[in-house]
Structure 1
Amino acid sequence: MRAVVQNGYGSAAVLRTAEVGRPAVADGEVLVEVAAAGLDRGVWHLMTGKPYAARLALGRPRNRVAGMDVAGTVAAVGAKVTRFAVGDEVFGVGRGSFAEYAVAGEDKLVHKPAGLGFAQAAVVAVSGVTALRAVRIAGRVRPGQHVLVLGASGGVGSYAVQLAKASGARVTGVCSTAKADLVRSLGADDVIDYTTTDFADSGQRYDLIVDIGGRSRFARLRRALTPRGTLVVVGGEGGGQVLGMGRTLHALALSPFVRQRLTAIVAVPGRADLETLRGLIVSGELAPAVGATYPLDRAPEAVRVLEAGQARGKIAIAIGARIPNGR
């Protein structure tokens, strides 16, 4: 089968398309014929081996197939799988989704809504679950609160804006000039262009700040919070190249000594969260924002776009014939 693999850590240049064997399926696993895969920052971290602690944990990649987010059709099921059958359309998280076939644990998949395209379904799991946990679990958003989303035009941010809005909050998104229209289309009540306006100096105070960009100092973030507000640090961006946990540890260490609540998340997608997202998609409260779709052999180009911060919403990688190739 065709797949995007890497033999070492580095830039997008380490990625190449190759013929590899179809993955084997264990008793509790599902083999998915991949229609589309999603691109997220986790793929970039695994490609580059940054933070460097990841290299110690993972070792040297050898023909490792890239990709985690997946959508497609069940091609085979393990002996202990009970929730899926051959022919079911599914989405979730698998191993090596930048390929014609990928394997996923049964508890990492849910059925794809009938009205949702494969490219849209492919970009839900990783970023959607991260946003769900940031806004509703760690952030404890409530109706009537004012929420600020830093990095509102990216993968996680595009979901965070919608989830906060669906929870009854007033939402302000921070993004660049070129992406302001996207953030408004996601439901943001207000948009701050970071190229012209500093959110921390606007005088506005927020009940919840979801910090996805990882570039703002904690003093500035806290200045924009209400006295009892909550800051949620998402992921390891800006956390250092060795451990990648600098901002997370800083937030958790500082929180007991201030009135504001400072916390962080590292989300691991599972069935319960995926079912929640599926329900929100079916109800119309959540819609994946796919800004571009690339064919499998252009996956390195897609990664470069993500790395440069040029992605609008999510990027999908088309693998199956049912997804139009190209942007």
Structure 2
Amino acid sequence: MQAIVQKSYGPPSVLSLQEIENPEPKPDEILIQIKATAINPLDWHFMRGAPYFMRFQFGLFRPKIKTVGADVAGIVISKGSQVKQFEIGDKVMGILFSKQHMSLGGLAEYAAAPEALFVHMPAEISFAEAAALPVAGLTAYHGLFSFGDIQPDDEVLVNGASGGVGIFTVQLAKNTGARVTGVCSTKNVELVRSLGAEEVIDYTKTSLDQLEQSFDLIIDNVGNYSVKQYAGLLKPGGKCAIIGYGGFKKLLGHMLQSPRLSKKTGKKIGMVSWEYTKKDLAYLADQMEQNKLRSIVSKTYILPETSKAMEHLETGHAVGKVVVEIGRYT
């Protein structure tokens, strides 16, 4: 099969299209003919090997995982003897990378992975829309619910509201009955408003430092402010989930200062990533099924254009999700 492979860390040019062996499903795995794969910052971090401390786990000088891509949607074409939840021909979406299954390979024609990492695709959505959901949707869910314990009528600020995680954060927060304020650039104001934000701040005109209101919960998908600045925007007892990667210096500051300022101010400020549970992904799929949640796919590529897709993601200005449509190429 054809797949995107990287043999070294570096810019998008390290990614190449190669012929590799087809995967074989283990007893608890399904074999998927991949139709679409979403590109995430997760893929960017693995491609660059950044931040550098991740290399201690995933390869100090060269990546141990040489295939790329975590979020996929496709069709089950074979399954292991222990698989009970899926049949051949089922349309599925899910994640190839988790704490229990540290593998990638979504940017390929086929992938084998445990059935526990997948759910059935909602009806009436495209493979691209399905692939866009898992990592970004679960990150938003974890920030709002697991970390943020969001409540109806909460005042919620979403920084980076038009990005891959932001689009789901705004919708999920709105669905709980929270009052959402989104932060984005001028060109995305109407999009963020259409997703459910009652107020939208154009960061090219207004800095968050200029705001007079405070919030019960902040979901920061950019990582461009200090912990002290976040604390100043929170109400007493408020929470801030820092999801975005604003560079190593900002990351280090967030890691060192969050525990100290949280204890000092009584406000919960911490770094948050996505966590996979099948139950949570099934919940998000159900929200899509009920038309309460939608993916925004702003740009699509084909498999040989993966490097271009990654370059676009690296600009930091991609709207919604960037998706590689495997089926359109193969």
User: Could you tell me the TM-score, scaled by structure 2's length?
Assistant: 0.93
Partner residue in 1 for 2:126: 117
Alignment of 1:215-226 (within 5 A): 215-226=224-235
Distance in 1 (alpha carbons) for counterparts of 2:263 and 2:231: 14
Alignment of 1:139-218 (within 5 A): 139-218=148-227
Partner residue in 1 for 2:99: none
Partner residue in 1 for 2:314: 307
Q: Displacement of 1:273 after TM fit? A: 1.1
Partner residue in 2 for 1:28: 28
Q: Displacement of 1:137 after TM fit? A: 1.6
Distance in 1 (alpha carbons) for counterparts of 2:148 and 2:118: 25
Whether contact under 8 Å (2:142, 2:275) holds in the other structure is: no
Cα distance change on mapping 1:5 and 1:195 into 2, 3 Å:
same
Cα distance change on mapping 1:265 and 1:46 into 2, 3 Å:
same
Select which of 78, 81, 92 maps to 2:80: 78
Q: Displacement of 1:270 after TM fit? A: 2.4
* SS of residue matched to 2:205: coil
Residue-by-residue CA offset, 1:48-101 (whole Å, 9 max, x unaligned)? 000112222112236822100000000111121111111110001023000100
* SS of residue matched to 1:280: helix
Cα distance change on mapping 1:213 and 1:4 into 2, 3 Å:
same
Q: Does 1:104 align with 2:106?
A: no
* SS of residue matched to 1:22: coil
Partner residue in 2 for 1:297: 304
Whether contact under 8 Å (2:228, 2:261) holds in the other structure is: no
Distance in 1 (alpha carbons) for counterparts of 2:48 and 2:260: 28
Select which of 209, 217, 227 maps to 2:236: 227
| Consecutive unaligned residues in structure 1, runs of 5 or more | none
Q: Displacement of 1:7 after TM fit? A: 1.0
* SS of residue matched to 2:248: coil
Partner residue in 2 for 1:283: 290
Partner residue in 1 for 2:49: 49
Distance in 1 (alpha carbons) for counterparts of 2:18 and 2:187: 36
Q: Displacement of 1:263 after TM fit? A: 2.8
Letter in 2 for 1:68: A
Partner residue in 2 for 1:268: 275
Partner residue in 1 for 2:324: 317
Residue-by-residue CA offset, 1:188-233 (whole Å, 9 max, x unaligned)? 1111111110123220111111111011012221111112211111
Distance in 2 (alpha carbons) for counterparts of 1:153 and 1:320: 27
Residue-by-residue CA offset, 1:295-326 (whole Å, 9 max, x unaligned)? 111111111111002311011110014x8x9x
Cα distance change on mapping 1:98 and 1:170 into 2, 3 Å:
same
Distance in 2 (alpha carbons) for counterparts of 1:314 and 1:248: 27
Cα distance change on mapping 1:147 and 1:47 into 2, 3 Å:
same
Whether contact under 8 Å (1:161, 1:187) holds in the other structure is: yes
| Consecutive unaligned residues in structure 2, runs of 5 or more | 97-103
Q: Displacement of 1:2 after TM fit? A: 1.3
Whether contact under 8 Å (2:161, 2:169) holds in the other structure is: yes
How many corresponding residue pairs? 321
Letter in 2 for 1:202: L
Distance in 1 (alpha carbons) for counterparts of 2:235 and 2:64: 49
Distance in 2 (alpha carbons) for counterparts of 1:252 and 1:238: 19
Distance in 1 (alpha carbons) for counterparts of 2:17 and 2:272: 33
Letter in 1 for 2:17: T
Whether contact under 8 Å (2:4, 2:18) holds in the other structure is: yes
Distance in 1 (alpha carbons) for counterparts of 2:138 and 2:215: 23
Partner residue in 1 for 2:246: 238
Distance in 1 (alpha carbons) for counterparts of 2:78 and 2:256: 42
Q: Does 1:247 align with 2:254?
A: yes
* SS of residue matched to 2:125: coil
Distance in 1 (alpha carbons) for counterparts of 2:268 and 2:247: 19
Cα distance change on mapping 1:133 and 1:15 into 2, 3 Å:
same
Q: CA RMSD in A?
A: 1.8
Distance in 2 (alpha carbons) for counterparts of 1:205 and 1:50: 33
* SS of residue matched to 2:283: helix
Distance in 2 (alpha carbons) for counterparts of 1:303 and 1:62: 20
Letter in 2 for 1:224: L
